[in-house]
Structure 1
Amino acid sequence: MTKHEFEVAMTCEGCSGAVTRILNKVEGVKFEIDLPKKLVWIESDKDVNFLKETLEKCGKEVKYNGTK
């Protein structure tokens, strides 16, 4: 599985909670959230555009930083 890094404009626990709820609905995805650095790492074989669009559902600005 590929590990992707996304920068998400999260400012509080509520924001990271929204990201968690959205990603928990996606099958076959493992993820980590670093709220202070505003980073989300997602391990998945899914398409990067699909992952980015999924993260954008939380209403925050999302930037793809590449694979790690």
Structure 2
Amino acid sequence: MGEYHFNVKMACSGCSNAVNKCLTNLSGVKNVDIDLDKQSVDVTTDSSLSYDDVYNTIVKSGKAVHSGMTIVS
């Protein structure tokens, strides 16, 4: 299981919905928690997904990732 935290530039609920949709459609994602006010995204995955997999998926949503870190790998 992996837990990852990202600071993502999101200006509105449409932005957070775009990130949420991309992540929830990614096979292996167990949970997504987005806080628009804090511009944070917390993702829990099964062992098949790496930090880079999750990071690249957020970037593909069109949003800029300012920083990220692995909580549990």
- Specify if TM > 0.5: yes
C-alpha deviation, 1:66, in angstroms: 3.3
C-alpha deviation, 1:10, in angstroms: 0.5
CA RMSD of aligned residues (A): 1.3
Q: Which runs of 4+ in 1 moved over 6 A?
A: none
C-alpha deviation, 1:25, in angstroms: 1.1
Q: TM-score, normalised by structure 2?
A: 0.83
Q: Could you report, residue by residue, the CA deviation over 1:7-64 in whole angstroms, capped at 9, with x for unpaired residues?
A: 1101100000101110121112111001100000000131111110000011111121
What amino acid is the match of 1:23?
L
Q: Which runs of 5+ in 2 are unaligned?
A: none
Q: Partner residue of 1:21?
A: 21
Q: Which runs of 5+ in 1 are unaligned?
A: none
Whether the aligned pair in 2 keeps the contact of 1:5 and 1:39 (CA below 8 Å) is yes
User: Equivalent pairs: percent with the same residue?
Assistant: 34
Q: Partner residue of 1:51?
A: 54
What amino acid is the match of 1:16?
S
Task: Provide the aligned length of Structure 1 versus Structure 2.
Answer: 68
Instruction: State the distance in 1 between where 2:69 and 2:60 align.
Output: 18
What amino acid is the match of 2:2?
T
Q: Partner residue of 2:70?
A: 66
